[in-house]
Amino acid sequence: MHLDGCHYHTTVFACTRCRATTTSTMERDLADPQNAIWCEEQYEEVRRDEHGRFCKPRWVVKECQRCDELKAGSARRHDIVVLDKDGTVIEERHEEWHDDPEPDDDDNVTPIQ
């Protein structure tokens, strides 16, 4: 199963024999414009005020703090969790990294002598 969120994607694998599962959640590389489009502003309709009373419906921006952090250059995360069929954790890994800058095309050019 594959799930997409605004700044991450999650893939869940399950063994049909032993029913163990592996969940992999990775944050998107926002340097790639195809990935950054997922972090576009989302809107939600509000029909109640802060006291729970009905009010005139309006649309407000639903902000994601983590999207803002990644856009500002925060380290990306990759989490992997492997569960046994009874739900006990077999393995758990959490990694963080900053993206290395892409090499320029000029770096691969050999100067003429």
**Would you give the DSSP letter of residue 88?**
-
User: Quick one: pLDDT at residue 100?
Assistant: 54
Q: Cα 45 to chain center, whole Å?
A: 24
Choice between 109 and 37, residue whose per-residue pLDDT is larger: 37
Q: Determine the 3-state secondary structure of 67 from DSSP.
A: helix
Please name which of 80, 79, 77, 78 lies closest in space to residue 21, comparing C-alpha atoms.
80
Say whether pLDDT at 113 is over 80.
no
pTM, rounded to two decimals: 0.65
How far apart (Å, rounded) are the C-alpha atoms in residues 107 and 103?
7
Say whether pLDDT at 58 is over 80.
yes
Please check whether residue 60 is in contact with residue 43, taking contact to mean a CB–CB distance below 8 angstroms: yes
